């Protein structure tokens, strides 16, 4: 009886070791960054006086001034996506609603 049990256990272990490894499923995650969130990227990476950023084919940074907004420089939308999630695999970006930046990642 013990011999039969040992043979079955060995067979089970052999079957488990021969099974192909399961591939990890990846998912595409989209994250939207508002102009105020983009202002954080602008202040950290473009100009410390920046307070807001707009994406409309390119990323422009502004500070609040009188009267209205004052241009402080241009940023890179792809680098902004990586700035917000540095450990995620960046795929691409596009324009969101109200000149927000929509970033796509593979996680």
Residue 16 lies inside a defined structural domain of this protein = no
Between CA 4 and CA 14 the distance in angstroms is 15
Between CA 7 and CA 80 the distance in angstroms is 59
More confidently predicted of 1 and 100:
100
Residue 20 lies inside a defined structural domain of this protein = no
Provide the number of structural domains found in the chain. 1
> What is residue 54's predicted lDDT score, i.e. its pLDDT?
97
> What is residue 67's predicted lDDT score, i.e. its pLDDT?
86
Residue range of the domain that includes 65: 25-106
When pLDDT is cut at 50, 70 and 90, the band that residue 107 belongs to is confident
Q: What is the pLDDT of residues 7-45, one digit of tens each?
A: 444 544 454 455 455 556 689 999 999 999 999 999 999
> What is residue 24's predicted lDDT score, i.e. its pLDDT?
65
Contact predicate 84/31, CB 8 Å: yes
Contact predicate 69/62, CB 8 Å: yes
Residue 68 lies inside a defined structural domain of this protein = yes
> What is residue 9's predicted lDDT score, i.e. its pLDDT?
47
Residue 55 lies inside a defined structural domain of this protein = yes
Q: What is the pLDDT of residues 68-105, one digit of tens each?
A: 999 999 999 999 999 999 999 999 999 999 999 999 99
Q: Tokens 């990642």 — which residue?
A: 105
- pLDDT over 80 at 2, yes or no: no
Ramachandran region of residue 51, left (φ > 0), alpha (ψ -120 to 50) or beta?
alpha
Residue 99 lies inside a defined structural domain of this protein = yes
């Amino acid at each position: 009886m013990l011999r039969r049990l040992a043979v079955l256990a060995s067979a089970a272990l052999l079957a488990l070791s021969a099974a192909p490894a399961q591939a990890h499923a990846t998912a595409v995650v989209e994250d939207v960054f508002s102009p105020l969130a983009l202002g954080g990227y602008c202040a950290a990476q473009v100009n410390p006086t920046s307070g807001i950023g707009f994406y409309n084919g390119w990323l422009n940074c502004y500070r609040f001034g009188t009267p209205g907004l004052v241009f402080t420089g241009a940023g890179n939308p792809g680098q902004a996506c990586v700035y917000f999630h540095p450990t995620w695999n960046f795929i691409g970006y596009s324009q969101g609603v109200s000149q927000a930046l929509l970033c796509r990642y593979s996680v």
